[in-house]
A = this chain, B = another copy of it.
Amino acid sequence: MEEECLVQVEENKQVIFRGFIEGTPKETDLQVMVGKKIELKAPPKGSGAFLVKNLYLSCDPYMRGRMRDFHDSYLPPFLPGQPLQGFGVSKVVDSDNPNFKPGDFISGITGWEEYSLIPTTELSRKIKPDDIPLSYHVGLLGMPGFTAYAGFYEVCSPKKGESVLVSAASGAVGQLVGQLAKLHGCYVVGSCGSSQKVDLLRNKLGFDEAFNYKEEPDLGAALKRYFPQGIDIYFDNVGGDMLDAALVNMKIHGRIAVCGMVSEKNLSDPQGIRNVYNLITKRIRMQGFLQSDYIHLFPRFLEHVISYYKQGKIVYIEDMNEGLESAPSAFVGLFLGENVGKQVIRVAHE
């Protein structure tokens, strides 16, 4: 009894998922509120669970898929009335698990709230102390970075000298795809949605060329301009019109890695892709993928990318929002292209 009296009790601010949506997420689909008070201790012995204080939360486009009442997917829907879930970086507060001790930093699936009880270790990874910013573990060194790595090397079959198009190129995935492609000896062009991003791609991220798709009345003509000989590899983060335009500009035996479809405004009635017949005449391989299928490569990915980063061969751009209160606008901004770089929410300072 005495021990329990020492347990700290905190209010636990949360970002609640209000209910299933259609179309593009709106800020009102989420609600920031103070949830039930939470005791800052792990559950009773034998549970293996641990309690964390969340430091950084990751805003990722795939999360929209969990906002629909659609169960035939690789991830279950969010629960209305409960906090969102997603990748985050957290600090262990208390633990019934010998592998996760108080003070440890971890990266993995957590709740959109100040404190989360993590019931299982399957989706958590302990972060080795390093001089890399902790938040990078939901970006460059997390799921988006690994998506770029697995997608580029395992799906795109890149060869030195090939021409590579990356869409949503300054985003969490795209910025690393482009830099890996440059390191591989490719010619790399990025598409993005603002002149600020064009500037970043050209001057910070080392892309050969970049363009603002919103300023191109004819995307096919834009691609023809940047790829007069055609595109070998299209790393597709957006689907929609850009995919259609890329299909007609691919080279023979081109490859398209289909990674994301952030442009599909409403997944229940996405716009059709009209130029699929190019797959035949150009013998294109178009492949969807999820990073989770390549998870055996994760240690190699970490080693390579950390090494590149420490050598200054790659950089990473984050868009950091401050506080859980900013979570709804940060999340919704993803689908409006408002983020510049990887969108992260800082919940608390380390």
In the complex, A229 has a CB within 8 A of chain B: no
**Scoring A residues 247 to 283 as 1 if CB is less than 8 Å from chain B, else 0, what string do you get?**
0000010000011110010010111111111111111
In the complex, what's the smallest C-beta–C-beta distance from A234 to chain B, in angstroms? Answer: 13
Which one of A275, A282, A288 has the highest number of Cβ atoms from chain B below 10 Å of its Cβ?
A: A288
Chain B residue at minimal CB-CB distance from A244: B272
Q: A239-B276, A270-B274 are in contact. Are A288 and B284 (CB under 8 A)?
A: yes
Decide if B279 touches A288 in the complex (CB within 8 Å).
yes
Interface residues of A in 281-300 (CB under 8 A from B): 281-290, 293
- Report the bound CA distance from A154 to B127 in whole Å: 43
> A269: which B residues are within 8 A, CB to CB?
274
In the complex, what's the smallest C-beta–C-beta distance from A121 to chain B, in angstroms? Answer: 25
> A168: which B residues are within 8 A, CB to CB?
none
Chain B residue at minimal CB-CB distance from A267: B277
Chain B residue at minimal CB-CB distance from A70: B281
Decide if B279 touches A286 in the complex (CB within 8 Å).
yes
Decide if B277 touches A261 in the complex (CB within 8 Å).
yes
In the complex, A243 has a CB within 8 A of chain B: yes
Decide if A287 touches B288 in the complex (CB within 8 Å).
no
**Interface size band for A:** 35 or more
In the complex, A73 has a CB within 8 A of chain B: yes
Q: Which of B264, B267, B273, B289 contacts A283 (CB 8 A)?
A: B289
Decide if B280 touches A258 in the complex (CB within 8 Å).
yes
Q: Which of B259, B271, B281 contacts A280 (CB 8 A)?
A: B259
Q: A282-B288, A283-B293 are in contact. Are A274 and B272 (CB under 8 A)?
A: yes
> A239: which B residues are within 8 A, CB to CB?
276-277
In the complex, what's the smallest C-beta–C-beta distance from A275 to chain B, in angstroms? Answer: 8
Decide if B272 touches A258 in the complex (CB within 8 Å).
no
- Report the bound CA distance from A152 to B25 in whole Å: 42
Decide if B279 touches A287 in the complex (CB within 8 Å).
yes
Chain B residue at minimal CB-CB distance from A293: B283
Chain B residue at minimal CB-CB distance from A250: B288
**Scoring A residues 285 to 319 as 1 if CB is less than 8 Å from chain B, else 0, what string do you get?**
11111100100000000000000000000000000
In the complex, what's the smallest C-beta–C-beta distance from A253 to chain B, in angstroms? Answer: 8
- Report the bound CA distance from A274 to B269 in whole Å: 7
Residues of A within 8 A of B (CB): 65, 73-74, 239, 243, 252, 258-261, 264, 267, 269-290, 293
20 contacts between A and B (CB under 8 A): A239-B276, A239-B277, A261-B276, A267-B277, A270-B274, A270-B276, A270-B277, A272-B274, A276-B276, A278-B288, A279-B288, A280-B288, A280-B290, A281-B288, A283-B287, A283-B293, A284-B288, A285-B285, A285-B286, A286-B286
